[in-house]
Structure 1
Amino acid sequence: MSVEISEILQRAADGGRISPEEALLLYTEAPFHALGEAADTVRRRRFPEGIVTYLIDRNINYTNVCVTACKFCAFYRAPKHAEGWTHDTAEILRRCEEAVQLGATQVMLQGGHHPDFGVEYYEELFGAVSSNFPQLVIHSIGPSEVLHMAKVSGVSLDEAIRRINAAGLASIAGAGAEMLPDRPRKAIAPLKESGARWLEVMGIAHRQGIESTATMMMGTGETNAERIEHMTMIRDLQDETGGFRSFIPWTYQPENNHLKGRTQATTLEYLRLIAVARLFFDNINHLQSSWLTTGKDAGQVSLHMGVDDLGSIMLEENVISSAGAKHRSNLHDLVWMIRSADRIPAQRDTLYRHLNVHWTPADDPTDERVTSHFSSITNVGRQLPVLS
């Protein structure tokens, strides 16, 4: 290991800021174990009790009709397509009720950019969910949906965000980030807003007091430098607003979409990116790995690369699953992944507050009904298998 890399790793492990150029050097050249050790040092300093969190939630898609036609997406259908669908409010509320029965504390409502859905649609949707299930935090949509609804309704972004927040939206998802730099973004989603506009929406929300998450999809042909550029764009906004709770990178899934798997990120690339992210984001508290797209083995290894959160037992998920993500889990497995990595599992809420810390194996949950990921695309009106 070179003296330069060693000095950068030590500075980052001690909590110092590293530049994008230094992050790229670590990502491409730092020895794997030294990189992981430095990242884990940061994690231990931030979370000295060794707690790794998880969430129970449900991702409910209200429509698959979309005008954006992203090349990596296997979920959407164009307007008037025979396979297009939209769930009514009663169906969405039924799914919320199932989620509550299984201990969910959060619901993620997401869908395509339906040509008819403006701010009024989301006000009604969020209002219905929040009034019927006040115990569910609505962590939903993303900047792309905000831009679309504001355009349909002919209102400003500031007004659109204020109105849906008043209706019940408590937190904005990092959805739609994909790759923020211009070149890779135009290549995979030419009809979607620019990365700068994505960040603009997040900034407006943060300044209104609405926090969000930040994501990154890797493996669609972007360069290593563009991956670091993506993270730099997020860190720069975080310096201004402080509104991102966590960073969540995930890997492109290759089935049933126009990219057809021509490029994909390897597990090693993903784990190195996770570690660099923990060193790079000195201003974002939490780092979540995506076992859904990388598998449970990689998810567990990520806990030694700076990760403090394993995401959710997502009771329902359709978008990434449509593109081939086949990894499944249940509450017992997720807790075991954390504990066998010598960490202490804890159920959290949307704001990362601990709801139930499983200090010893005797404290571990035993509810076998809580499992992921039921697909609803062909099961409209059906109950979750555990409740039928």
Structure 2
Amino acid sequence: MKNRINFEDALKLYEKDIFELGTLADAKRQELHGKKTYFNINRHINPTNICADVCKFCAYSANRKNPNPYTMSHEEILEIVKEVDSHGAKEIHIVSAHNPNVPIEWYLGIFKKIKDAYPHLHIKALTAAEVDFLSRHHGLTYDEVLDLMVENGVDSMPGGGAEIFDEKVRDFICKGKVTSDQWFEIHRKWHERGKKSNVTMLFGHIESRENRIDHMMRIRDLQDKTGGFNCFIPLVYQTENNYLKIDKPVTANEILKTMAISRLVLDNVPNLKAYWVTSTVNLALVAQEFGANDLDGTIEKESINSAAGAKSANGVQLEDFTALIRNSGFIPVERDSLYNEIKVW
């Protein structure tokens, strides 16, 4: 692609005035999406917090800082799905910890049960980190796990487990978890099955700006080959109740610059999500001026980031969500999980 931003130039973008950078990212956003801001009506379900891994940034898994282990039954999960379906949800987003005490049928069987009972619901489930865990723990290849996902009704994959792709950083914050190469292998294989996925980046902890740009460049490389990423989601690290001991959260200035730079670098990833759960609703709304064209969704309930201090436990009401987007000068557009437009609010 001509005039593509290289690593050095991308890093220099951090030195630009924030408003100048915002203007550049907004121009790209408007070229792609105009004033439309996408969201979906969705529900996050986190069926277990018992985890074989010990990631230093995590406040969700059951450990000394969160001594309340739980594992939900399929019946409990289906009750939640029944309720949220009655509220008009279009997507069920299911991500768990890496529980070594349950059979693989516990992980995969629930998807088939949901799909059989609610065939209209899109199931977004199992991060690459979960796929890697299931592969190792149950003696299956990645291909076998991915095929089982398809057979049981998983429609798309979330982007979790990416964290930061630099292996030195990974060794410190999530040693023993899926490696960056394995993460990309899993998503490449998923894309080769004709399926879509998202990709995240956890930032604002010990990583450098160089690590962030490297992360974006690796995403861009795979996207050139597969075109399978729907959306890039920069996740703001939450400082509470974990073992990284980062005293001060990353500044709003740094968050908005990172959003804008990712919109400019990731020229082949169509959507940029300001995930209000980790950035706060107010900053996510501002991020619409810095390249973001998606705010995720109403969510209803969120457990992982709220355990680390995010104000996201109970989601956002649909009417409030659409009003906030409108009042910030953008057009709220309800989408499905694959970015087909459902309704302009």
Please indicate, yes or no, whether the TM-score normalized by the shorter chain is above 0.5. Answer: yes
- Residues 265/82 of structure 1: CA separation in 2 closer, same or farther (3 Å cut): closer
In 1, the alpha carbon distance for the partners of 2:163 and 2:63 equals 20
Q: Partner residue of 1:7?
A: none
What residue identity is the alignment partner of 1:23? A
Larger Rg: 1
Which consecutive residues of structure 1, in runs of 5 or more, have no partner in the other structure?
1-11, 359-388
For the Cα contact (< 8 Å) 2:90–2:121, is it kept in 1? yes
Match of 2:33 among 14, 31, 47: 47
Q: Partner residue of 1:160?
A: 145
Residue 264 of structure 1 deviates from its aligned partner by 3.0
Q: Give 1:284-323 correspondences, 5 Å limit.
A: 284-323=269-308
Q: Partner residue of 2:320?
A: 333
TM-score by length of 1: 0.85
Aligned length: 342
For the Cα contact (< 8 Å) 2:74–2:106, is it kept in 1? no
Q: Is structure 2 residue 99 aligned with structure 1 residue 114?
A: yes
What residue identity is the alignment partner of 2:250? A
In 2, the alpha carbon distance for the partners of 1:313 and 1:161 equals 28
- After superposition, what is the alpha-carbon deviation per residue over 1:36-57, rounded to whole angstroms, capped at 9, x for unaligned? 1111111111123x21111111
Q: Partner residue of 1:37?
A: 23
Q: Give 1:137-156 correspondences, 5 Å limit.
A: 137-156=122-141
What residue identity is the alignment partner of 2:21? L
Residue 138 of structure 1 deviates from its aligned partner by 0.5
- After superposition, what is the alpha-carbon deviation per residue over 1:300-354, rounded to whole angstroms, capped at 9, x for unaligned? 1111111111111111110100111015532222212211222111111101111
Q: Partner residue of 1:211?
A: 196
For the Cα contact (< 8 Å) 1:122–1:164, is it kept in 2? no
Q: Is structure 2 residue 324 aligned with structure 1 residue 343?
A: no
What residue identity is the alignment partner of 2:121? L
Q: Give 1:117-128 correspondences, 5 Å limit.
A: 117=102, 119-128=104-113
Match of 2:116 among 124, 131, 143: 131
What residue identity is the alignment partner of 2:127? G
In 2, the alpha carbon distance for the partners of 1:194 and 1:153 equals 18
Q: Partner residue of 1:363?
A: none
Q: Partner residue of 2:232?
A: 247
Larger mean CA deviation between 193-202 and 254-263 belongs to 254-263
- Residues 203/162 of structure 1: CA separation in 2 closer, same or farther (3 Å cut): same
In 1, the alpha carbon distance for the partners of 2:68 and 2:43 equals 23
In 2, the alpha carbon distance for the partners of 1:219 and 1:71 equals 14
Moved over 4 A (4+): none
Q: Partner residue of 1:20?
A: 7
Q: Partner residue of 2:206?
A: 221
For the Cα contact (< 8 Å) 1:118–1:148, is it kept in 2? no
User: RMSD of the TM alignment (CA)?
Assistant: 1.8
Q: Is structure 2 residue 263 aligned with structure 1 residue 278?
A: yes
Determine helix, strand or coil for the equivalent of 2:290.
coil
For the Cα contact (< 8 Å) 1:113–1:148, is it kept in 2? yes
Match of 1:74 among 59, 74, 79: 59
For the Cα contact (< 8 Å) 1:287–1:308, is it kept in 2? yes
TM-score by length of 2: 0.95
| Aligned-pair identity (%) | 35
What residue identity is the alignment partner of 2:252? T
Residue 16 of structure 1 deviates from its aligned partner by 4.0
For the Cα contact (< 8 Å) 2:300–2:316, is it kept in 1? no
